[in-house]
Amino acid sequence: MKISLLAVGLALLFSMTGCEKGPFARGPKIPQHKRPEIVRPDTPDSPEAKAAEQLIASGQQALQDEDNEKAEWHFQEAVRIAPTFGPAYYWLARAKWQLDQRTEAWNLLDRAELLIGHEADWLEKIDELRATISDAS
């Protein structure tokens, strides 16, 4: 008898406290057509993608100048700024391969393929670099 009275008392207590108005309560539902467009880092017009593209260009120049450590830094920064921007992973893999870090390069190519492997030209570049890494092993 005491247990059932306690259960009823607790149920009444929780129902009167207004739990639904706590910090995690949902507000009114926003209609789909009024929601702001989600800008992902891999969209060409996002600030993250633009910054990553600039870093990639600097890294590519560093690779041409055979400054592989500098190239690696630029590509790593591009990945940090835009973690879903696939080209940054591809170019970081190129720098890692140049630095003789083959396992890391291979893993980065896996990530690049997940992000941009649906694009035929990128998939071809990824496969070519994988073949180069495999041949060097």
* Average pLDDT of the residues of the chain: 81
* 108-117 pLDDT, tens digit each: 999 999 998 8
On whether residue 13 sits in a domain, the answer given is: no
What total of structural domains would you count in the chain?
A: 1
> With contact defined as beta carbons under 8 Å apart, do 74 and 55 qualify?
yes
pLDDT digits (tens, 9 = 90+) for 13-53: 555 555 445 443 444 555 555 545 544 445 667 889 899 99
**Residue at 4 is within a domain:** no
Whether 33 is in a domain gets the answer no
In a domain, residue 65? The reply is yes
| C-beta separation of 89 from 115 below 8 A | yes
Q: Give the ranges where 1-136 is alpha helix by DSSP (H).
A: 2-16, 47-64, 68-81, 86-98, 102-116, 120-136
Residue 24 lies in a domain: no
Flag whether 7 is in a domain.
no
CATH of the domain at 130: 1.25.40.10
Residue the block writes with tokens 């190519």: 109
Q: Answer yes or no: is 76 within a domain.
A: yes
Contact between residue 86 and residue 115 where contact means Cβ atoms under 8 Å apart:
yes
- pTM for this entry: 0.69
pLDDT of residue 38: 41
Sequence letter at residue 92: L
Q: Does 38 reside within a domain?
A: no
